[in-house]
Structure 1
Amino acid sequence: MCRWLAYSGSPILLEDIVYKPSHSLIEQSLHAKLGVETTNGDGFGIGWYGHRSTPAVFRDVGPAWSNRNLRELTSHIRSRMFFAHIRASTGSATQQTNCHPFRYGRWLWMHNGMIDGFSAIRRELALAVAPALFPSIEGSTDSEVMFFLALGLGLAEDPPGAVARMAGLVEEVGWRHGVEHPVQMTVAVCDGTRMWAFRYSTEHRSRSLFHSTDIEGLKELYPDSPLVRRASEEARLVVSEPLGDVPGAWNEVPESSYAVVEHGRYEIRPFAPARVPVPAVGA
């Protein structure tokens, strides 16, 4: 599978989160503790918002731990909202277009998990992507297909509803093809202002996902931490696994739920797939 993190808050250097914590994403690329694979070396990516409404993206196919360009960029880029992802392929090719995060307009998307039986249902799912969006799919991953399905199902107007409809569609198609548990996902998506993180699987045994404790609480617990001192009150992190073993710093996102982050406001809400009609696809 993969490991990822999403940050929202006052602008900070990306390296403060990506490299500096004791169990940083770079450390996780070699020694993940909660992932299916210990090593995540099939590419990486970062996506961040700066002075424009659309985000910038940097992705590469090599392992994150040895990429000098990643180290250089994160030591100079400050951002108020960014994604970082390290990839362990579940079968699709190791190529730049398959690295996360994926971008469309102002949207960023990244995923840990899989569509089970994807090779058998890929054609039907691809044909369910809105025709106007289909030419923008660049890679061959299930993750990118999930993103473009959600875009066509109303992501811009209703992100939680669109992700629910996407998950419901994937499940219906999978079940039609005899796949028992089609969906396994922790997904992060943002539009530059708000961020959502979803934890769901058909079998209700989802991959790990955590969110940071509010900064005021952390400042009381760890007054001498430079990173905590620099963080603003609205700073929030959502991560595949904690960035350190600091007691009280991390809370698990519950099974079948999603988090929404906006201007420091953080809420956990229940999540369930929404059923949508899936037309039969001919041979």
Structure 2
Amino acid sequence: MAVTDPAPLFEARDLVKHFRSRGSTVRAVDGVSFTIPRGRTVGLVGESGSGKSTVARLALRLLEPTSGELSFDGVDLRGAGRGELRALRRRMQIVFQDPFGSLNPRMRVLDAVGEPLSVHGLARGRARRDRVVELLERVGLSAKDLTKFAHQFSGGQAQRIGIARALATDPDLIVCDEAVSALDVSVQAQVLNLLKRLQAELGLSYLFIAHDLNVVRYMSDEVCVMYLGRIVERGDGDALFADPRHPYSEMLVSAVPEFDPANTGRARPAPRGEAPSPSRPPSGCRFHPRCPRAFDRCSTDEPVVHPVAPGRTAACHLLEVDR
């Protein structure tokens, strides 16, 4: 069973990341807060450009935040020194979207999976080889794959190698950044089940990022819905998908054929237009130009976060009207 602990393993508070580009400011992440409990999965979902992958890189300190707080197992990641951060990074790993792009085509599997062991001084020689074999077997491969190159594998097998490499340092947290979106649907299911099994066996925590709502719902204990750099709704995955409370969440759920709007007892009108540029976010509620239920206040006042149920929140002026 997954390990649980009242103290979160990871926490982000008011996380901000702005990029300067050709004289303008791209507000990629603009005040995001969430926690990841031990042994649990938090999903980030939203359209392309919502800021999900930027959050992933900020969480691992692959990008430096513009502002905000990050903590891992009680340690301030932004204040950690180089040595302390290096030690913490052994406990935080990532699985990327493109399994072939994330593997060095000139490295054999032994070296690709064993590289983290060498970098962190965890094993060498025969012990390194034995550890790599153990990792390959854990993800459904074998010792016969040690001398192969990435191009000799299917996409699903290559992603298993990427997962094995992420497991090499015995991490507590793995960030899965669109880790199955490049795979066929049948292969996706196999990899998702593998991730579930590894979580149960090893007590792993996941930050699971995807644009496919069915995938996010299957994997996540809690879901955060992102739009233009902000979390507009968060809460228990099953409850959120059964009864989304923010119009953007409704839009995402309505786009999935398996979720029938009649199940919730209320209509979900289609949104209008395309998402604005994060370099020019709208005033007020960022979703209001596309929201079919927007009213005057939506264009001027930024909505505050409201509790909508135990453990669930959403940022929408309609929640005040409905009260």
When normalised by structure 1's length, the TM-score is 0.31
Q: Point out the structure with the larger helix share.
A: 2
Q: Point out the structure with max Rg over C-alpha.
A: 2
Q: Point out the structure with the larger strand share.
A: 1
When normalised by structure 2's length, the TM-score is 0.28
